[in-house]
């Protein structure tokens, strides 16, 4: 399967990042290379892009997509919390633009064997980086009931977290829970029928919570945003696209804490996709974009 990930909010990304010839940009979640391609077009002549992704297949796909810019980009199979060390190895002080497009890609959802979707049967995996050992199956089969309840409540904002965790523990005592549809059946059994008749798929929040836990998505985001002073050059711009409230809350709070001292917030309210974009790309529906610029100190601006 080809790694296809339609870039969300592309014109807004370009407007807020404002790429200029000769600048150095980082796409911290390069995916299939859609955003990166548009950025590289505007960074020429003389510009350079560093792309990261924790999924090796994404890195390979981005390399093919960006081939017309050979020599003007470098890709890394790495988590974005590695940004500082990558810049150091590359001998760079920082970047003029930084993009995060968070969450799971269409490729991950449509590639059943990766175990991200509750729509088809597949191994209960959910690793974005297949080098890591922790899988969703390990969490479901070995973590204590209290910890399962916590992640379902905290990461999935699941009303029935305690009940689902209890049903999971009871089910795994009989046999290991190894497939996605096994887990879906358990979640459905745990949620009272009248609450399953409307709203999103009953397993949606459970799968979201497990994916976030497997990939430590919120921890990765917090650790990386804490290093903005090291990563972003004075005057540099940052754009973060998030797809659920937990990520957006972290970005909003971090930007607010750094406002004035390090950052100038460019989006007082999050930017959301137009109706036209949602119609052409339904997965853009929940996207929220926040942008900021690193402030110039007096001595840097003179």
Say what the pLDDT of residue 279 is. Answer: 94
Q: What is the pTM of this model?
A: 0.92
Distance in angstroms (rounded) separating the CA atoms of residues 69 and 83: 22
Tens digits of residue pLDDT in 236-278: 999 999 999 999 999 999 999 999 999 999 999 999 999 999 9
CATH superfamily of 112-215: Putative methyltransferase TM0872, insert domain (1.10.150.170)
Identical fold, 10-107+218-301 and 112-215: no
Distance in angstroms (rounded) separating the CA atoms of residues 33 and 55: 13
Q: What are 232's strand-pairing partners?
A: 95
Distance in angstroms (rounded) separating the CA atoms of residues 154 and 219: 13
Architecture of the domain spanning 10-107+218-301: 3-Layer(aba) Sandwich (3.40)
Read off the DSSP letter of residue 287: -
Say what the pLDDT of residue 106 is. Answer: 56
Say what the pLDDT of residue 131 is. Answer: 92
Q: Say yes or no to pLDDT of 8 above 50.
A: yes
Q: What are 288's strand-pairing partners?
A: 242
Burial class (CB in 10 A: 0-12, 13-18, 19+), 263: buried
Closest CA to 41 of 14, 74, 60: 14
Domain map of the chain by residue range? Answer: 10-107+218-301, 112-215
Distance in angstroms (rounded) separating the CA atoms of residues 199 and 202: 8
Tens digits of residue pLDDT in 133-151: 999 999 999 999 999 999 9
């Amino acid at each position: 399967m080809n790694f296809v990930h339609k870039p969300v909010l592309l014109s807004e990304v370009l407007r807020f990042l404002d790429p200029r010839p000769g600048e150095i940009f980082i796409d911290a979640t390069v995916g299939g290379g859609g955003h990166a391609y548009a950025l590289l077009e505007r960074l020429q002549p003389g510009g350079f892009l560093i792309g990261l992704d924790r999924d090796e297949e994404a890195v390979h796909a981005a390399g093919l997509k960006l081939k017309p810019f050979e020599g003007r980009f470098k890709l890394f199979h790495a988590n974005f919390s590695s940004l500082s060390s990558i810049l150091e190895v590359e001998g760079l002080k920082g970047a003029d633009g930084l993009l995060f497009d968070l969450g799971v890609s269409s490729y991950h959802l449509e590639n059943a064997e990766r175990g991200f979707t509750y729509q088809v049967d597949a191994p209960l995996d959910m690793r974005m980086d297949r080098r890591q050992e922790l899988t969703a199956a390990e969490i479901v089969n070995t973590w204590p009931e209290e910890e399962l309840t916590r992640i379902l409540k905290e990461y999935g904002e699941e009303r029935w977290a305690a009940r689902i965790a209890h049903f999971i523990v009871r089910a795994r005592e009989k046999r290991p829970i190894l497939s996605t549809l096994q887990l879906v059946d358990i979640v459905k059994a745990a949620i009272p029928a009248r609450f399953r008749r409307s709203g999103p798929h009953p397993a949606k929040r459970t799968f979201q919570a497990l994916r976030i836990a497997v990939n430590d998505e919120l921890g990765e985001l917090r650790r990386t945003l804490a290093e903005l002073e090291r990563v972003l050059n004075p005057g540099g711009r940052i754009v973060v696209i998030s797809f659920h409230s937990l990520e957006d809350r972290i970005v909003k709070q971090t930007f607010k804490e750094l406002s004035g001292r390090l950052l100038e917030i460019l989006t007082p309210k999050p930017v959301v996709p137009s109706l036209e974009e949602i119609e052409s790309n339904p997965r853009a529906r929940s996207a929220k974009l926040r942008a900021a610029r690193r402030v110039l100190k007096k001595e840097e601006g003179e």
